Amino acid sequence: MKVKIYRGTKEIGGTCVELTADNGKILWIDLGSPLDSNNLDVSYVQNKVDALLISHPHQDHYGLMDAVSGREIPIFIGQLSLDLINAAKIFTARKLSEGNFQFILPYKPFLIAETFKVKAFLTDHSTPESFAFLIEADGKQIFYSGDFRATGRKKVVFEKLIDNPPENIDLLLMEGTMVERTNHLYETEDSVENAILEIISQQENITYVISSGQNIDRFVSVFKACRKAKKKIVIDVYSAWVLEMVAKVSKGIPKIEWEEIKIYLDKRQVDKINHESFNLFRKRIEKETIGNDVFNKPFEFVYFSRRPNLGLIKNLQHHGVINLIYSQWEGYLNDDTHYLAQLINPLKNDKCISYKHIHTSGHATVPDLIKFAKALTAKKIVPIHTASRNKFKEEFEKVGFTSVDIWDDGKEYKL
């Protein structure tokens, strides 16, 4: 078997790995959009391929999927992952993904192109469905870690994997996002929940928690903090739809009818779901709308939102200080061209706003990466999804690993 990483050996984003079996069959793992604007050449998406395997519904892993879907090539993906990709498309008025989709069931082995034996493992990551893959062909075994951490609400799946790891791995392709980032202020989702609880318990006005609607772990952290503090969590129509999709596979997820949840009906979002297939959903959310309560008792509400509503902030500021909790990667705020930087940074100095960054990463820290690699005992480890492959190697060598190999994008390696 031959392995080529089209992108990902030296950047976070645009991940795509190609496996070519001895019989000529070609499988791609992930087909993400590049995040690095210095190199946007993605002409490899036109190359020959027999099947595509998608690890999770983040743009840097599936963003170029539509380049393949039109070619009737089978795309192996989780059903929830596809629902979440389409959720984002519904609310931005884009055409839904079409293609030859084959749905992955975790831990149930399946065969791709009569050649690649695949088993999907759930991972703990900042999206509700994310997979790692064990792939076998030509008597060789590859483990692709996907994106993962060990500190989220699904940490049990990380522990399950390292307690009972697959054996005889020839190659471990492992993510290394955090090699040069730290998580020292908030190490776990639980610590995020507690920090938010502390703030909202004392709020005199509304609190905004800025996060992605698809980060269900974070939503649950805020939801639990609201329940403990006896506050209501306000979500928009898009987040309500995401919850509906997650509820199809996860029974414990909060439902929009629960008393702690209120919905903010943004007209632009409601307009996106005017098709009759959304009739029932529209009726349900209309019953749960926040109404005018927020103007009378703003201290009872916590907005879980992609962005703060400047009009609402202006209307409510006479009630007291408004908390603005930024709850995702701070890097977006350092990029002046990013909409979050343009929106959030000016608010930090506003005297009616109390700003705080409370976040824990969706990616494993170096000690957790090492724990993972020690459990898997692969013959060779190649870092991927990292901007610091040399540092990755150094960190592993410090603790005795001699199996880390640095690869280059676009180069073919024989297993």
Residues of this chain that interact with Zn ion (CB under 5 A) are: 58, 60, 147
Among candidate residues 154, 325, 155, 311, the one with its CA nearest the CA of residue 233: 325
Tell me the helices (H) and strands (E) count for the chain, helix number first: 14, 19
Tokens found for residue 384: 């991927």
Residue whose structure tokens are 């991927």: 384
Degrees (nearest 5) of the Cα angle 152, 158, 163? 145
Shortest separation between residue 32's beta carbon and Zn ion, angstroms: 7
Integer angstrom CA distances of residue 198 from 223, 226, 256, 395:
13, 10, 24, 36
- C-beta atoms surrounding 143 within 10 Å: 24
Our CB check for Zn ion shows the closer of 161 and 233 to be 161
Shortest separation between residue 83's beta carbon and Zn ion, angstroms: 16
Our CB check for Zn ion shows the closer of 378 and 384 to be 384
Shortest separation between residue 338's beta carbon and Zn ion, angstroms: 17
Residue 394: strand, helix, or coil: helix
Shortest separation between residue 169's beta carbon and Zn ion, angstroms: 21
Our CB check for Zn ion shows the closer of 81 and 205 to be 81
Shortest separation between residue 401's beta carbon and Zn ion, angstroms: 23
| Long-range contact pairs involving 121-124 (C-beta distance under 8 Å, separation at least 24) | 121/157, 121/161, 122/154, 122/157, 123/56, 123/147, 123/148, 123/154, 123/157, 123/158, 123/161, 124/148, 124/149, 124/150, 124/151, 124/152, 124/153, 124/154, 124/155, 124/156, 124/157, 124/158
Our CB check for Zn ion shows the closer of 62 and 303 to be 62
Our CB check for Zn ion shows the closer of 18 and 147 to be 147
Residue 297: strand, helix, or coil: coil
Shortest separation between residue 358's beta carbon and Zn ion, angstroms: 20
Shortest separation between residue 125's beta carbon and Zn ion, angstroms: 6
Give yes or no for a contact between 236 and 263, defined as CB atoms under 8 angstroms apart: yes
Our CB check for Zn ion shows the closer of 385 and 393 to be 385
Q: Which helix (H) or strand (E) is 235 found in, with range?
A: strand 232-236
Shortest separation between residue 205's beta carbon and Zn ion, angstroms: 34
Give yes or no for a contact between 121 and 133, defined as CB atoms under 8 angstroms apart: yes
Residue 98: strand, helix, or coil: coil
Our CB check for Zn ion shows the closer of 147 and 189 to be 147
Shortest separation between residue 318's beta carbon and Zn ion, angstroms: 41
Our CB check for Zn ion shows the closer of 82 and 234 to be 82
| Residues ≥6 apart with Cβ < 8 Å to 268 | none
Tell whether the torsion through CA atoms of 405, 329, 39 and 66 is positive or negative. Answer: positive
Our CB check for Zn ion shows the closer of 154 and 232 to be 154
Shortest separation between residue 33's beta carbon and Zn ion, angstroms: 10
Our CB check for Zn ion shows the closer of 32 and 308 to be 32
